[in-house]
Structure 1
Amino acid sequence: MVLIGMGIFAYSLRNVALTQLLHDLVHINVWWLLVAIGCMVGYLLIEARIVQVFVNDRLSGFTFKDALRIPLIEQLFNGITPFSSGGQPAQLVAMIQTGVDGGRASSVLLMKFVVYQAMIVINFLIALAIGFQFLAAKLHYFALFVVFGFLIHLVVIVGLLMIMFWHSFTKRLVNLCLKPARWFVKPERYENWRITLDEKIDSFYHESVRIKSQWRLMLHVTLLTLGQLAIYYLIPYFIMLSLGYHHVNVLMVTALHILIVMVISLFPIPGGAGGAEFSFEALFASYVTTRSKLVLAMILWRVITYYLGLFAGMWAIALKPDKVSEEPRENHRILHRLRNKS
């Protein structure tokens, strides 16, 4: 992926004078660039905190170092697999390495995913209201990709909500949609698929019932996720400030970044390579009118939001995890009260 990225950067620089690029790089405002990097670091730290909140609700002794490994490993495997499909399994393995039971780890990751998807849809609706008219006026074809990406995320969150609130109906609907698969696979395989899907739906439903009763926990995680996404979406704005563009509309730039992230999820190439770079240049060309600065902004954005996560994930894999206490959180609280009484 690094080699592919270098090839894309080289292609983007084909019409840019190297001397001009170096001039723009030398005169960059380092402080605003550090703020942009800090936003990405903050994004990962907040996600680590979300993981820790979910796990510590059930078990004791899950350290922040262990929690930090999870989003970093997620960044790596999301970045090297098509449609970011490797992030969830990699997180599950990383949590099991810390001593968290596989069932508990799956539940934590599932609920984190639900909250994250819900906040993405809400952010996208706000971005659509702010930036879709600009997008449709400048790039008609791009608007279609944005709407299609939104529909995919919307279908995902609606499906999850249906499991949470209409469990039996959703099971029947999924089994009905699965029936055509019998025409193409052996009966044994079809039955295995049906049983596995039913088990996954039941597991998610039981976990959602437990979580729904803990509204304080969900509110806490929701607010953390909103903050996490907000600072991530602000990264292009701070990159523009570092390049000297101080009069850009922060709401419009943030909205356009949300739309870019939505479109990237449609590209099957790991990390949305090619599509991400093209989308950034196409949308921000109206703000960054100098070609060399536009390409430099794209490279900086890509390094901060993508390659930084790849290398941080490689470091996280090499980091030896602590072992979480197998003692359930409720037992830990009871023992703590007994010790205090004694």
Structure 2
Amino acid sequence: MKKTKNNKGNIINGIIIAITVIILLCYMFFVDGIDNIIAVFQNAKLLWLVAGALCMVLYWAIEAAIVHCATKCFPQKLPYRQVFQTTMIGQFFNCVTPSATGGQPMQIYHMNKIGFGAGYATSSLLVRFIVYQLGLTVYSIVVLCFQYKEFASQIKGFKYLIIFGFILNTAVAIGLLLIGFTKNFAKKAMHGICRLLAKLHLLKNLEKKLEIVDREVDSFHDGFRIIRKNITRLCIMFIMTILQLSFFFFVPVTIAFSFGVPSIPIFTMMAAASCVQMASSFIPLPGAAGGAELSFFMLFGMFFPAAKLSSAVLVWRLFTFYFPILCGMFFSRNLFGKRKEILASTSQSIQD
């Protein structure tokens, strides 16, 4: 029986990797073009491209450190190396699923597979997501205070792009905070959404779905109650998020240096990168395909010469889309296999 389960897991792993490779190859051939990719690397300064890749690695390392910080609130302890693997699995599935919806479920699956309670995993990741959304919102507010007039004067439609992204990100952060602080209100709101979807015939088995909603809200609320007691830990996570985002937003700066763009305004370029992230966060396509490139074109047309802008978009996508998929695929290769508990404690209950 164990061999059969393990074989099924290996088959699923193989199918996922094969599909991902096919998607990547199709994307590279038909969207970006292999010739274009080769030409870009021939004409760019390699040292700055390495710096861009290093920024992404640091972004992942800090992400893992933030999740690791959240998990320390619970009785079970998870080694950093396992949290880093969880992070890379999340990066992989975020890139290959619409609106990055597949990352967290796969991370919870992996953490539970190695013996970390599903309730603890859900709470840790959702609290981390709240901190990320707050960090991105605060980062964007600061950016807009300093750069809004300049961007709005040079970019047609910037106001609508940013307002949409800002409202959406802020709404998500507020919604998650309401779940954490007001359990009954969150349940009523989720019940209302479920009933509306059921009336529209978009949701089946309403009563069963409501039970699942109640269970998940209870689990998250209880876990959040534990974490929110440690204000110092939450502040550390927030500061680490700001640092993490700064590394991510510095990637376009390294691309500009690699292309020899003159007079690079570092802060302004990082501000533009934060606007791109905010505007494209919830585009319902894998990797925010199309929307991310369009946002980059709109904002970074201010910095890159027209002849180099398309190449800049391509390299940026290589760093923020292809690179996470390739690295995440390596860490996800044995995701669906036999359960391997590495923790001594396997208690699943959430305690005060």
Q: Please indicate the TM-score interval, normalised by the length of the shorter structure.
A: 0.7 to 0.9
1:62-141 pair list within 5 angstroms: 62-141=78-157
Distance 2:329 2:98 in 1: 18
Partner of 2:18: none
Matched, 1:296 2:314: no
Distance 2:188 2:42 in 1: 61
Number of residues of Structure 1 aligned to a counterpart in Structure 2: 321
Matched, 1:152 2:168: yes
Identity of paired residues, percent?
26
Please tell me the residue identity of whatever aligns with 1:326.
A
Partner of 1:8: 31
1:242-283 CA-to-partner distances (Å, cap 9, x unmatched) read 211252211211111111112222422211222222322232
**Aligned counterpart in structure 2 of residue 264 of structure 1, from 275, 280, 292:** 280
Distance 1:273 1:175 in 2: 32
| RMSD of aligned Cα (Å) | 2.8
Distance 2:208 2:273 in 1: 41
The secondary structure found in structure 1 opposite 2:99 is: helix
Distance 1:218 1:181 in 2: 35
The secondary structure found in structure 1 opposite 2:264 is: coil
Q: What displacement does 1:204 show?
A: 2.1
Partner of 1:307: 322
Distance 1:250 1:266 in 2: 26
**Aligned counterpart in structure 1 of residue 205 of structure 2, from 173, 185, 189:** 189
1:115-173 CA-to-partner distances (Å, cap 9, x unmatched) read 11111111121222233333333333343233212211111111122223333334334
**Aligned counterpart in structure 2 of residue 167 of structure 1, from 175, 183, 191:** 183
Residues 7 and 279 of structure 1, relative CA distance in 2, 3 Å threshold: farther
Distance 1:319 1:51 in 2: 21
Task: State the structure with more CA Rg.
Answer: 1
Q: Which runs of 5 or more structure 2 residues have no equivalent in the other structure?
A: 1-22, 348-352
Residues 279 and 186 of structure 1, relative CA distance in 2, 3 Å threshold: closer
1:291-335 CA-to-partner distances (Å, cap 9, x unmatched) read 1x2222222111111111001111001268974323279xxxxxx
TM-score relative to the length of structure 2 = 0.81
Please tell me the residue identity of whatever aligns with 1:280.
F
Partner of 1:336: none
Partner of 1:325: 343
Q: What displacement does 1:11 show?
A: 11
Residues 31 and 322 of structure 1, relative CA distance in 2, 3 Å threshold: farther
Partner of 2:9: none
Q: Which runs of 5 or more structure 1 residues have no equivalent in the other structure?
A: 330-342
Please tell me the residue identity of whatever aligns with 1:288.
F
Matched, 1:214 2:230: yes
